[in-house]
Amino acid sequence: MIQLKDVSKLYDNHVAVRNLNLQVRSGEIMGIIGHNGAGKSSTLKMISGLIAPSSGLVEVMGHDMSENRGTPAIKKKIGFLPEESALYANMTVMEYLTFFGELYELPKKQTEARIEELLTGLNLPERNKLTSELSKGMKRKVAIARVLLHDPDLLILDEPNSGLDPLTSFFILNYLKELRKAGKTILLSAHNLFHVESVCDRVTILKDGRLLICDTMENIRATLGHREYEVRFNTSQSLDYPKVDGHYCVRTADLNELSQLLNKISTEQWHLVNLSVQESALEEIYVKLSSIA
């Protein structure tokens, strides 16, 4: 779907992206994270065709974006949502989306049907309100509807949940999962690492325009994180274990120690209350990786 080969982007003497190699597979949600200035937005803009790379190859769906980024054929396959997406304040939601349907040269009936589908799917009932009268969350939903209007194969979303309340953010994340089920490829940048971790198939971490890692959360945790097991149990015996909420509580990352404890609980017929697994969050791994890279 997307392939970047030795891609760099320079602004005057500043290197925003340097020698970036990256592949995004068809039908996956790829998260891109990094500090401010890490090169996320520049990377997304190069993939979307808004800007050209200074060097290297950006290929999207078989098209070299340096040569084809302005052609209608590739534009119709891409939906790009920038971090800041101003709406036309003097238009209602329906007028705004209808206008973009005309820009995409969609047939009128198709546009109307598509708008109804998106407004329903995004839970956006304020179709006759001026966009200037909408809440920030509703405005973001309208912007997302605009991006989806022409049914693109590739969605490039820069901070789609920026500034939104938790409920609206949760709704949009679930909506992205539904889009993935429908076969869409999604490239997602976000500062909220919990959102990235909860929705993305793979995660790319950038620092100072360089690629630090690109992998699944499972593999990233196995390489850079840790896994800890917590066992809570009860017994009438007095044991030299700490207690939490009235239960004996043992935490360990050692599988042998865990196995021995569970065997002991079973043999002594102690009451196992709970066995849980705690894994490193993406935020913890990101901070660790950024400090050593």
> Tens digits of per-residue pLDDT, 99-131?
999 998 899 999 999 999 999 888 888 889 999
Fold of the domain built from segment(s) 2-215: Rossmann fold (3.40.50)
Q: Coil, helix or strand for 171?
A: helix
Mean of pLDDT over the chain? 90
Q: 4, 196 in Cβ contact below 8 A?
A: no
Kindly give, in sequence order, each residue whose CB lies less than 8 Å from that of residue 49, ignoring residues fewer than 6 positions away.
60, 65, 68, 69, 70, 74, 75, 78
- pLDDT confidence of 84, banded at 50, 70, 90? confident
Higher pLDDT, residue 259 or 83: 259
**Residue 178: how many CB atoms within 10 A of its CB?**
10
Q: What is the mean pLDDT of residues 124-148?
A: 91
Residue 87 contacts residue 135 (beta carbons within 8 Å): no
In the chain, % of residues over pLDDT 70 = 98
Looking at the predicted structure, is the pLDDT value of residue 242 above 80? Answer: yes
Cα separations in angstroms, 83 against 156, 157, 158, 258:
11, 8, 5, 46
Question: Per-residue confidence at 200, pLDDT binned at 50, 70, 90?
Answer: very high
CB 285 within 8 Å of CB 227: no
Backbone angles phi, psi at 231, to 5 degrees: -115, 125
Q: Output the pLDDT for position 210.
A: 94
Other Cβ atoms less than 10 A from the Cβ of 167: the count is: 9
Per-residue pLDDT band for 70 (boundaries 50, 70, 90) equals: low
Considering the chain, tell me which residue range(s) the CATH 3.40.50.300 domain(s) occupy. 2-215
70 vs 275 pLDDT, higher one:
275
H and E: helices and strands count for the chain: 11, 14
